[in-house]
Amino acid sequence: MSKGTANQYMSKSSFVSKVVKNPYYINPAKTLPAIKGRIEKIVGRSLNMSISKTNYGQSSYIVLHEKGGENTLKIRISDHSVTNIDRMFGEVHLHSRELPNSEWNKRGYKQIRNFKKKFM
């Protein structure tokens, strides 16, 4: 293959357009407000969110509290995976690198609905 041949198949601009159109590339800055909005719709009120930025990426947290009780539900919306065992089982995990209506995120919304029915 000659030096210029690769550019015939994929120029720099076509590579960028393929990445942007790729359904697996999701911009967390765009999905985070949509995911938060879905949670607020489920709960029926506006919610505060804290944001944590580390070398691994960005995680946002929303904590729901039981009315007049001690039960809480911690919701983690993150652009990276989790390895801490307590976090895996003690939080609801939503992914900001997936579409707000992805199957993974739908499971998280179901957990939030169940908490609301039981405690709110």
Q: Calculate mean pLDDT across residues 22-34.
A: 74
Sign of CA dihedral 79, 98, 30, 94: negative
Question: In terms of residue numbers, what domain contains 82?
Answer: 26-119
Higher pLDDT, 53 or 2: 53
At residue 92, the pLDDT reads 93
In a domain, 17, yes or no: no
pLDDT at 25: 58
CA distance readout (Å), 45 to 39, 48, 97 = 9, 10, 24
What is the domain count for the chain? 1
Helices (H) and strands (E) in the chain, counts: 5, 4
Select from 13, 51, 14, 40 the least CA-distant residue to 100: 40
Examine residue 37 and state whether it is found in any structural domain, yes or no: yes
pTM of the model: 0.73
* DSSP letter assigned to residue 30: H
Q: What is the pLDDT of residue 97?
A: 86
- Please choose, from the candidates 51, 55, 98, the residue with its C-alpha nearest in 3D space to the C-alpha of residue 76: 51
